[in-house]
């Protein structure tokens, strides 16, 4: 479901992020939470500080086994795919923090994940924004299309998304959008002035301010 060789070649620091900006999307009454691609379990540990829950994590990188087992309740060093077994209708929340873009077929994974959600369960995700202003500048002004070690053009990204296509991804997988908003606003002063000027004529460039989009969905 993803390029395992390239994924495991990356520096381990790439996967060690607490993602403070994603905490507010996790329901405080969640009893069972599952994170796909949990890395060293840093995000789960942070969630457990504020929410009394059982936190599950699945991560294919074996470098994180010991640390993840300390940070969260249940950890499995494995690849999450459509053959992976979990308790049915068990989770209040399933988390994909910058994971779906690494998958060959994220829609299939989202469809498969439905069976593990409770009736009122949600999926929370963070997905990089292809229309982030600095990238548009490199593509359309400089004419560059180069993969990098991190960021939107990460060489392990197999899929690319915009604000609009993220909505389509979830709707095609049979989910209803509860919340969809930009996070990690990052625009230089020069781009900020350009966007202010463009806003006089249109709001179609507002999404270019954000590195990622946070999305909360429920099964339809």
The answer to whether residue 96 sits within a structural domain is yes
The answer to whether residue 136 sits within a structural domain is no
The answer to whether residue 31 sits within a structural domain is yes
Domain count within the chain: 1
- Predicted TM-score (pTM) of the model is 0.85
The answer to whether residue 107 sits within a structural domain is yes
The answer to whether residue 199 sits within a structural domain is no
Range of the domain at 9: 4-129+158-185+211-219
Could you read off the pLDDT of 150-180 as tens digits, one per residue? 677 687 889 999 999 999 999 999 999 999 9
pLDDT at 20 over 60: yes
Could you read off the pLDDT of 91-138 as tens digits, one per residue? 999 999 999 999 999 999 999 999 999 999 999 999 999 998 776 766
The answer to whether residue 108 sits within a structural domain is yes
CATH number at residue 65: 3.40.50.150
Could you read off the pLDDT of 47-103 as tens digits, one per residue? 999 999 999 999 999 999 999 999 999 999 999 999 999 999 999 999 999 999 999
Half-sphere exposure of 71 (CA within 13 A, CB side): 24
């Amino acid at each position: 479901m993803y390029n395992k060789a390239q994924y495991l070649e990356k520096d381990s620091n790439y996967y060690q992020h607490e993602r403070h900006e994603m905490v507010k999307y996790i329901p405080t009454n969640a009893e069972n939470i599952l994170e796909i691609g949990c890395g060293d379990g840093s995000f789960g540990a942070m969630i457990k500080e504020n929410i009394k829950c059982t936190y599950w994590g699945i991560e294919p990188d074996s470098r994180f086994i010991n640390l993840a087992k300390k940070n969260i309740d249940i950890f499995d060093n494995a690849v999450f795919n459509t053959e992976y077994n979990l308790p049915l209708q068990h989770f209040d929340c399933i988390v994909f923090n910058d994971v779906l873009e690494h998958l060959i077929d994220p829609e299939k994974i989202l469809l498969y994940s439905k069976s593990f959600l409770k009736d009122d369960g949600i999926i929370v995700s963070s997905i990089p924004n292809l229309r982030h202003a600095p990238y548009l500048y490199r593509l359309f002004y400089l004419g560059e299309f180069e993969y990098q070690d991190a960021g939107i053009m990460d060489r392990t990204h197999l899929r690319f998304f915009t604000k609009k296509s993220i909505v389509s991804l979830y709707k095609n997988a049979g989910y209803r959008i509860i919340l969809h908003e930009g996070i990690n606003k990052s625009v230089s002063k020069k781009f900020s002035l350009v966007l202010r000027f463009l806003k006089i004529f249109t709001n179609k460039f507002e999404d270019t301010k954000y590195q990622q989009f946070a999305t909360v969905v429920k099964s339809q």
